Amino acid sequence: MSTITLTLKIWRQQDRKTKGRFETYETGPISQDMSFLEMLDVLNEQLTLEGKDPVAFDHDCREGICGMCGSVINGEAHGPEKETTLCQLHMRHFKDNDTLVIEPFRARAFPIIKDLAIDRTPLDRIIQAGGYISVNTGGAPDANAIPIAAERAEAALDAAACIGCGACVAACPNASAMLFVGAKITHLALLPQGLPERSGRPLDMVQEMDSQGFGNCSNIQECEQACPKGISIQNIARLNHEYLRAAFLSEE
């Protein structure tokens, strides 16, 4: 098992209001089999024993599905590996004596809570505005009552795979959440169950996105590059299509 030593420049910020700064840490030997977050665990154990404040970072499942983790590593959201969340990024992708600059996802809509931890509740608010199908529990027809072509169900799942981590927002120079919104709009627009609310959903979600302080899309495509689940930029095209359709054809 090979080990490496790293220089870490980590964004430290006490809370939302205090001004932050980068601090530099030299790591001890880091096994290349570690995940990135385990490397941070090791650093935090070391800081704790030295009587210093450990680095705050969000994480939970550590298997790439909960969407809780995420930082910007050397300018890239979730680090250099394609379609990989930070928890699934392993240290074998770094070299001995590398310097890593680690900072939180930055966006006006994502205030910093502490160090690398941010507040992403604005994404929940966008979903609250209409990112669902309005059915109450009970009384649903038999699951096989409406056939859905396998390809269509698969395409809906491609969009529904979004984990809500916010990397797309962090990667976008406009801090837009269009990929996030587009993924949900696409998921629901592709399914027959989603059609009854087709004329309201895109308008409501986009309006909420704007009011939460996210920017608009200017086709830079950084979001798609950063997305750990490979959500395609075509979802934004579909969002625009659905938005225009709703705006012009809505009877409300």
Partner 1 sequence: MNLNPKIPPGPLADKWDTHRFNSLLVNPANKRKFDIIVVGAGLAGASASASLAELGYNVKTFCIQDSPRRGHSIAAQGGINAAKNYPNDGDSIFRLFYDTIKGGDFRAREANVYRLAQVSNNIIDQCVAQGVPFAREYGGSLANRSFGGAQVSRTFYARGQTGQQLLLGAYGALMRQVHKGKVRIYPRREMLELVVADGKARGIITRDLVSGRLESHCGHAVVLATGGYGNVYFLSTNAMASNVTAAFRAYRQGACFANPSFVQIHPTCIPVHGSYQSKLTLMSESLRNDGRIWIPKQKNDTRDPVEIPESEREYFLENKYPAFGNLVPRDVASRNAKEQCDQGKGVGETGLAVYLDFAEAIARDGRETIRSKYGNLFHMYEKITAGSPMEEPMMIYPAVHYTMGGLWVDYNLMSSLPGLFVLGEANFSDHGANRLGASALMQGLADGYFIIPATIATHLAGTELPDIDTGHPAFQEAENRASLRIKKLTALNGKRTVDDFHRELGLLLWDCCGMARNEKGLRYALNKIPEIREEFWRNVVVPGTNETFNQSLERAGRVADYLEYAELMVRDALARTESCGCHFREESQTEDNEAKRDDKNFSHVSVWEYNGESSAPISHTEPLVFENVRPSRRSYK
Span 214-243, contacts to partner 1 by CB under 8 A? none
Residue whose structure tokens are 């809370």: 15
For partner 1, the binding residue among 193, 232, 234, 240 (CB under 8 A) is 193
**Can you tell me the distance from the alpha carbon of 46 to that of 87, in angstroms, rounded to the nearest whole number?**
20
244 binds partner 1 (CB under 8 A): no
For partner 1, the binding residue among 9, 20, 25, 41 (CB under 8 A) is 41
In the bound complex, what is the minimum distance in angstroms from residue 207's beta carbon to partner 1? 13
- Amino acid making up residue 252: E
Closer CB to partner 1, residue 154 or residue 244?
154
Provide the 8-state DSSP code for 215: B
Residue 133, CA distances (Å) to 89, 93, 137, 157, 187 in order? 34, 41, 12, 15, 11
Q: Which stretch binds partner 1 (CB under 8 A): 71-79, 94-102, 123-131, 216-224?
A: 123-131
Phi first, then psi: give them for residue 102, nearest 5 degrees: -115, 120
203 binds partner 1 (CB under 8 A): no
Q: Which x/- pattern over 98-117 shows residues binding partner 1 (rule: CB under 8 A)?
A: ---------------xx--x
Residue 249: how many other CB atoms lie within 10 Å? 9
119 binds partner 1 (CB under 8 A): yes
249 binds partner 1 (CB under 8 A): no
35 binds partner 1 (CB under 8 A): yes
Q: Beta strand 7-12 with 99-103: parallel, antiparallel or unpaired? A: parallel
Residue 190, CA distances (Å) to 140, 155, 178, 182 in order? 19, 8, 17, 12
Closer CB to partner 1, residue 143 or residue 249?
143
Q: Rule CB under 8 A: which of 44-83 touch partner 1?
A: 45, 47-49, 51-54, 56, 58-63, 65-68
| C-alpha torsion angle, residues 143, 149, 151, 153 (rounded to 10) | -20
